[in-house]
A and B are shown apart, each in its own frame.
Chain A
C-alpha cells in the first residue's frame, strides 16, 4: 500500500511541476499556453542530449533544462504571447501552433534531416535516459520497498515548490506577480512594469516545466509528442485547484496523482486516466471555480 501511495505522490510531483508554471501564467496573464507541454518535452530532450554529447547525468540536466526552457519561454513570450494579451482564444491557437512547431523541430532535427545530417538523440524515434546507479533500485521503509528514483522526484519537486512559494510570497517580484494576478491595471498604476514581470513569470513557469521533463525522462521513454498529454494534465490540475491559487495547484496535483496511482495499481493505467477525468469533471460541476478559487476560469 505504501508503495502505491508513493508512486501516486511521485506522479503528483510531476503534475505539480507542470501545473505550477501554468497556474502562474494562466492566473497572472490569462494566457492559455498550449506549448507548455513542449517545455516538458524539451526538458526531457535536454537530458537525452546532454547525456549523449556532454556525458553528464541527470543532475547537470536539471539546471541546464531549466535555463534552456526558460529562455525558450522568454522567446515565445517576447515574439508571440506578448502581442496577444487579453485575447484568450488567440493565445490558445497561437501557442498550439508553437507547440506543433517545436515538436516538428525535434522530429526533423531542426530541418537537418533534409540535408541528410542526423543528430544523435533527436529525430522521430524513442529515446531513453540512463538514471545514475545510486538512484536505481529500491530501499525499504516500514517493510515497503520504496523506489529511489521516485523519492528523488518528490524531493526535487518539494524543493522547487518551496522555492516558488518563497519567490511568490516573500520577494518584491513575487508581490508584483500576485498584484498583477489580482488587478493588473492598478498594479501598473502603482509603477509595476507588468510587461517585464509577465515575461519573467512566463520564463520561470517554462523552466519548471523543463525540470518536469528531466524528471519524466528517468522513468518514461522520451519522444517528440510526449508533451501533448502533459499540457492537458497541467490544465486539469490548475482548473481543479482554482486559477491563480498555488496552494490549490499543490493539493489538486497531489489528489490527482494519488487517484491515478491507486486506480492504476488496482486496475490499469487506462481506467486510472478515465477516473481522473471523471473526478475533475465532478469537481468543476460542483465547484466551478475550483477548490481554492481566486477568480473564475
Chain B
C-alpha cells in the first residue's frame, strides 16, 4: 500500500514537471517576436516623400522677407519631417530680404521646422559675398537662420588681399565678422591668386 502511494507521488511529480516544462516552452514561443512586415514603397503615402531633379525653391514660400533660394540638381525629401536632401546645390542666402551670399556645394540638407530654417552643406562649399566679393571655401557649412550665423569647418577665407585658413570658424552672413579657431594661418596673397 505504501509502495503504491510512493509510485503515485512519483507519477504526480513527474507529471507536474512535464506540465511545467510544457508551459515554459509555450511561454518561450510567445516571447519570440513575430516578424512585422516592412511597409513596401507602394504602401508609403505618396504625399510625404518626393524625389526631384532640376528643382528650385524658396523659403518661406510666397512670403517676404525671403530667407533662401535653392536650386538643386537632384534631391529627395519628406513633407513629414521638413527635410530635403540635396545634390549639386546652388543657393542664395538673404539678409533682411536682400541677397547676401551665393553658395555652391556638392551636397546638402535643407531643414525647416516651423519658422526656423537650417541649411547644412558639405563638399567643396564655396560662398561668395555679393557686395564685397569676399570668398569663403569650406568642407562643411551650416547656416542657422535664427542665429544669423554661419558655421564652417576646414575653412579658407579670401578677402582684401589676405587669405585666412583654420580648422573651423563662425561668420556673420555678410562675412565681415568672423572668429577662426584651430591652426589659424594668415598670409598675404596677390590680387591674381
Chains A and B are bound partners: no
Q: Point out residues on A near B: beta carbons under 8 Å.
A: none
Q: Point out residues on B near A: beta carbons under 8 Å.
A: none
